[in-house]
Amino acid sequence: MSTKKLSLIDSTTIIAGSMIGSGIFIVSAGIARDVNGSPGLLIMAWVMTAVITILGALSYGELSAMMPKAGGQYIYLKEAFGPLYGFLYGWALFAVIQTGTIAAVAVAFAKFTGVFIPQIGPDKVVLNLFGFAINTQQLLAVGVIIFLTTFNFRELKSSALLQNIFTIAKILALLLLVLLGFWFGCKGFGDWSHFSPAFPDTITLASIGVFGAAMTGALFSADAWNNITYTAGEVDRPQRNLPLSLFLGTSSVLLIYILANIAYIYVLPIEQIKTAENDRVATLMMQTILGDKGKLFMAAMIMVSTFGCLNGIIFTAGRVYYAMAKDGYFFKSAGTLNKNQVPANALTMQCIWACLLCFSGTYGNLLDYIMFVVMLFYALTIIGLFKLRISRPEMERPYKAFGYPVLPAIYVLLAVWVSSVMFIHKMDFCIYGLIIVLIGVPIYFFLKKVNSQTISNQ
């Protein structure tokens, strides 16, 4: 891989930039509906998401410092439980987790570009192909995916520089959103009574379960924090910078997320948050305080945010497919590097599938299906941390998980709890997610057989 290394700042901006997409601007409406209009539970959903995510990041720090190789979570699962588990994660990543996210974020970018260019929209059909109506919104989404994929064929530092610029821009924009909310709130647009009553009079086991399921949107908005581990082989001083960047990136983003939601509730009554048009809570808040200019401000902000997010999630996951190909569990050509020491073939394959998902229009459902599985993989990876402490005590551990074994154990319990309530309250989605993962089992054994035959014939 590239000899030009990612610095601590680069690593932190990749984490923050990959996390901040369009979710923070819209998912609070769905959460508010799920928690039956409780302002306190809405904020608690984001606080719990922050706790779970930061605990996970602190635990991943040990694994990333132990195994600073391209592939990240794929490598950790393979080392802890065997190649099948690593492959199933990589398969799910390629099938929908990363590619589905790329498609969803690219369409969000195109959707808000349509605010400025009316010719871009889902109703602007330009071609009917085999019964599929292709519109200008899809074409722009595909175009930006192809552009950023080819841009990431360049040297590592070029991708990192672009990520730094857009991450700083959208963090400043998010902070401006929060500050404007509080400033204009204090000027008469806000009311602290919107927080009352903060919680329901009674809390039952059923309502706790509903609360856990309601966190799905917040967890998705905070996801992709582990993407930096995919590029671990290209991080400078990984034993120090990987754990530190995981903590700095996740904690700073989630603090801003919580402040943004406090600003939403301060300016908007909870009923308005629940019923925001197309769930665009942030847009509604900005329109409330700035009028029509607020709508344009938010559209531009989301375009910057989604563009930077796309660069981060496109840039990182190619390293996983590269590592899988080197092990014989992905297309062989994905295991090669271009002249810039970048896995361009792996990025191209990811690009093609993500573009097809844009045209299919199914990525939204696929992401709902897979969030349950994502949480299970996170829990399994942290269980792998415990397993490796026992089975591989000789491995060098330059950083040890903060609060071990208590905090990692709490993370596993929380992740399993969230997964369980998701399964209870969104069973159909969860079952489809499991099916997507299980499809990878016969593929794994087929690839293993082909790989063994290739080795025996050499």
Give tens-digit pLDDT for 117-143: 989 988 888 888 777 788 899 999 999
Tell me whether residue 442 is exposed, middle or buried, using C-beta atoms within 10 angstroms of its C-beta: 0 to 12, 13 to 18, 19 or more: exposed
Kindly list the distances between the CA atom of residue 338 and the CA atoms of 233, 342, 396, in Å, as whole numbers in the listed order. 16, 5, 32
2 lies in some domain: no
Closest residue by Cα to residue 236 from 46, 7, 3: 7
376 lies in some domain: yes
1 lies in some domain: no
Q: How confident is residue 453, by pLDDT bands cut at 50, 70 and 90?
A: low
Q: Per this entry, what is the length of the chain? A: 458
200-209, 238-247, 360-369: which has the highest mean pLDDT? 238-247
Kindly list the distances between the CA atom of residue 340 and the CA atoms of 159, 312, 331, 344, in Å, as whole numbers in the listed order. 12, 18, 20, 9
Distance (Å, whole) CA 93 – CA 437:
10
- pLDDT tens-digit readout, 163-177: 899 999 989 989 999
22 lies in some domain: yes
Q: Which residues contact 229 (CB under 8 A, 6 or more apart)?
A: 60, 63, 64, 72, 73, 76, 242
Kindly list the distances between the CA atom of residue 453 and the CA atoms of 52, 91, 335, 383, 457, in Å, as whole numbers in the listed order. 43, 22, 19, 33, 6
Tell me whether residue 345 is exposed, middle or buried, using C-beta atoms within 10 angstroms of its C-beta: 0 to 12, 13 to 18, 19 or more: buried
458 lies in some domain: no
Neighbours of 402 (CB within 10 A): 17
3 lies in some domain: no
Instruction: Give the residue-averaged pLDDT of 178-188.
Output: 91
Q: At 421, is the secondary structure helix, strand, or coil? A: helix
pTM: 0.88
Tell me whether residue 267 is exposed, middle or buried, using C-beta atoms within 10 angstroms of its C-beta: 0 to 12, 13 to 18, 19 or more: buried
Buried b (16+ CB within 10 A) or exposed e, 130-164: eeeeebbbbbbbbebbbebbeebbeebbebbebbb
The predicted pLDDT at position 46 comes to 94
Contact 399, 239 (CB under 8 A): yes
Instruction: Give the residue-averaged pLDDT of 315-320.
Output: 89
Query: Which residues span the domain enclosing 359?
Result: 8-450
Amino acid residing at 1: M
Instruction: Give the residue-averaged pLDDT of 41-53.
Output: 92
Which residue stretches of 8-72 are H helix?
A: 8-19, 23-34, 39-66
- Domains in the chain, number: 1
457 lies in some domain: no
Tell whether the model's pLDDT for residue 78 goes beyond 60.
Answer: yes
Q: How confident is residue 23, by pLDDT bands cut at 50, 70 and 90?
A: confident
Tell whether the model's pLDDT for residue 1 goes beyond 70.
Answer: no
175 lies in some domain: yes
Contact 196, 27 (CB under 8 A): no
Amino acid residing at 347: L
Tell whether the model's pLDDT for residue 234 goes beyond 90.
Answer: no
188: CATH: 1.20.1740.10
Helix (H) or strand (E) holding 127: strand 125-129
- Phi, psi (degrees; rounded to nearest 5) at 133: -90, 115
The predicted pLDDT at position 364 comes to 65
Tell me whether residue 305 is exposed, middle or buried, using C-beta atoms within 10 angstroms of its C-beta: 0 to 12, 13 to 18, 19 or more: buried
Distance (Å, whole) CA 32 – CA 10:
35
Instruction: Give the residue-averaged pLDDT of 375-403.
Output: 92
Q: How confident is residue 458, by pLDDT bands cut at 50, 70 and 90?
A: very low
Distance (Å, whole) CA 307 – CA 288:
26
Q: How confident is residue 4, by pLDDT bands cut at 50, 70 and 90?
A: low
